[in-house]
Amino acid sequence: MGATKKEWTREEVAVRILAGETLVVYNNQLLRIPQAWLNAHPGGSLAILHFVGRDATDEIDAYHCDQTLAKIKSYVIGTVETSSGIWEPLVPPIMTGWVRKLSCDGKTTWHNEATPLPPSNISSEILLVQRDSCLLETSGPTLSHLAPPPTNLSLEDQARHSAAYKLLHSRIIDAGLYKTRYITGYGPEIARYLLLAASSAAAYSHDWLITSAVCLGLLWHQLVFTVHDLGHMGVTHDWTKDRLVAILLADFIGGLSVGWWVDNHNVHHLVTNHPSHDPDIEHLPFLAISTAFFNSLWSSYYKRTMVFNRVSAFLISIQHKLFYILLGFGRFNLYANAYGFLWRKAFDHRRAKGGRWSWWLEVIGVLFFWCWFGAVLKGCGSWSRAITYLIVSHVVTSPLHVQIVLSHFSMSTEDLGPVESFPHRQLRTTTDVICPPHLSFMHGGLHLQVTHHLFPRLPRHNLREASVLVKEFAKEEDLAYAEFGFISGNGEVLDVLRGVADQAKIVGMVANHEIREAMEKKVR
């Protein structure tokens, strides 16, 4: 691994990364993350791998409490040489398709899982496609893989945004906005949860199945917001306590996996709206918010190619018409992702912090959910009534899925490279939904997504107060702060989907024309 030295040059850091070390810059210090911690990181390994060779100070501070930050000192191996105090970032190997894997002899070596698309004349963003299996795999990435592509962003401007963000974060802390409002915040919510649960049970006992299903769906819809807070350690701010409560709400009552959600959601927050890396915008063959997906991109999260073929081209061409239907059944997709995650973790012996007991508790929770919910469906009296109850209760949760996509689907999906600062990226890819205070409970307070993305651990009951400070920050830094109403937001998203759909139609027509020409030539 090498001994600790006083100062590391950019070239020395690059050489060590190519040798397989996981190096991240934090407050001009160089952190070397051991493989054991990379495997066990509660936020998932990708949350670290996307910042290898980069300054991750803002991201680390935003995602970790003081107790965790204190432990980071044990990973410091020196300082980094900078120009005017600014670190010039490298491109993380995962961004160019390189990952470390165990080889047959038990050693960890480089593996090329994907290859970057050639940059176009109008963009130098790095998008990945599946590696051609016919090509021989080289021994590992080279210095050229770590070199950032050309960018119009100024490193000095991004450093200024970052410095201003640090001051903003200090103001948020000094204002006491990390303190959880247990009585005034969660008190009314717990009352609402109990009312919905009691209403669902009472209606069910009177055979008012539709009413019962609606109340149960609303309960699930509302519980997700608290699970969201718990997943971000935004309630008790203690990992174990928050995870236990989250498993109770998400797995035992909702049938989902909070472990999957945290793993997925952290990546979404860190590489927001990146077509190759953000799982929250990777929905082929049904939805695409950018024509970049027409390239059959590789997903570094799902570890698969998002194939764009004639079937997906057809579905994308009508996506604006299918949009609300798909979101209406979105909870079933959450089940599939959650259970797939739990299945994969069953064979993972390098689970995250508390991974063994939390995994078992999640599995028990999911089984418990299907026992009690299965009994509810059986008690409906007939298959038709049971199916109706199942569909109604799940479709009622769909406003949650609409809200989530409103915050990002209409925003930029362009990759501006590792030079882009944390606050610049979050403001560029995220928008708020304007909502009066008395209706904010419908959105769980998470309609203020810009502030949430900048301060993910912030209790959501404090987001409105914090957003005032964020807007001041955006104005001072000349950064756009996007927000729109619920209706106009839906219109913006539909316009994006319709625009991509029109392009998909053109692609489909071109493909059909080429097929006809090929067949005519064959006949001749």
What is the rounded average pLDDT for all residues in the chain? 89
Mean pLDDT, range 491-514, rounded to an integer: 82
Residue 237 pLDDT more than 50?
Answer: yes
> Percentage of residues in the chain with pLDDT exceeding 70?
93
Separation in Å, CA 123 to CA 81, 149, 415: 30, 10, 9
Per-residue model confidence as pLDDT tens digits over 160-193: 999 999 999 999 999 999 999 999 999 999 999 9
**Cα distance between residue 33 and residue 47, in whole Å:** 12
Higher-confidence residue of 21 and 513: namely 21
- Please report, as a single letter, which amino acid is at residue 60: I
User: Which of 97-111, 470-484, 507-521 has the least mean pLDDT?
Assistant: 507-521
Strand partners, 25: 30, 55
Domains and CATH numbers, the chain: 7-93 (3.10.120.10), 165-469 (no CATH)
Q: How many CB atoms lie within 10 A of CB 170?
A: 10
Question: Which residue from 61, 44, 93 is spatially nearest to 268, judged by alpha carbons?
Answer: 44
Residue 455 pLDDT more than 90?
Answer: yes
Query: Quick check: 401 and 334 in contact, CB under 8 A?
Result: no
The 3-class SS string of 234-262 reads CCCCCHHHHHHHHHHHHHHHCCCCHHHHH
Query: Quick check: 96 and 77 in contact, CB under 8 A?
Result: no
Per-residue model confidence as pLDDT tens digits over 264-273: 999 999 999 9
Q: How many CB atoms lie within 10 A of CB 493?
A: 21
User: Residue 133: phi, psi to the nearest 5?
Assistant: -65, -15
Q: How many CB atoms lie within 10 A of CB 394?
A: 20
pLDDT at 520: 47
Query: Quick check: 404 and 493 in contact, CB under 8 A?
Result: no
The pair of three-digit structure tokens given for residue 177, joined into one six-digit string: 């906005």
Q: Compute the residue count for the chain.
A: 524
pLDDT at 515: 47
Query: Quick check: 296 and 276 in contact, CB under 8 A?
Result: no
Q: Which residue has the tokens 């900048």?
A: 454
Mean pLDDT, range 398-425, rounded to an integer: 91
pLDDT-based confidence at residue 523 (cuts at 50, 70, 90) = very low
Q: Strand 98-102 vs strand 108-112: parallel, antiparallel, or unpaired?
A: antiparallel
Separation in Å, CA 457 to CA 172, 175, 237, 297, 474: 12, 15, 8, 31, 20
Q: At what angle do helices 258-270 and 209-231 cross, to 10 degrees?
A: 60
**Cα distance between residue 50 and residue 93, in whole Å:** 8
- Helices vs strands, H then E, count in the chain: 21, 12
Query: Quick check: 439 and 495 in contact, CB under 8 A?
Result: no
Q: Which residue has the tokens 């176009």?
A: 120
Question: Which residue from 328, 298, 483 is spatially nearest to 407, judged by alpha carbons?
Answer: 483
Give the sign of the dihedral formed by CA 78, CA 82, CA 86, CA 88. Answer: negative
The pair of three-digit structure tokens given for residue 285, joined into one six-digit string: 């063959």
pLDDT at 38: 85
Higher-confidence residue of 139 and 227: namely 227
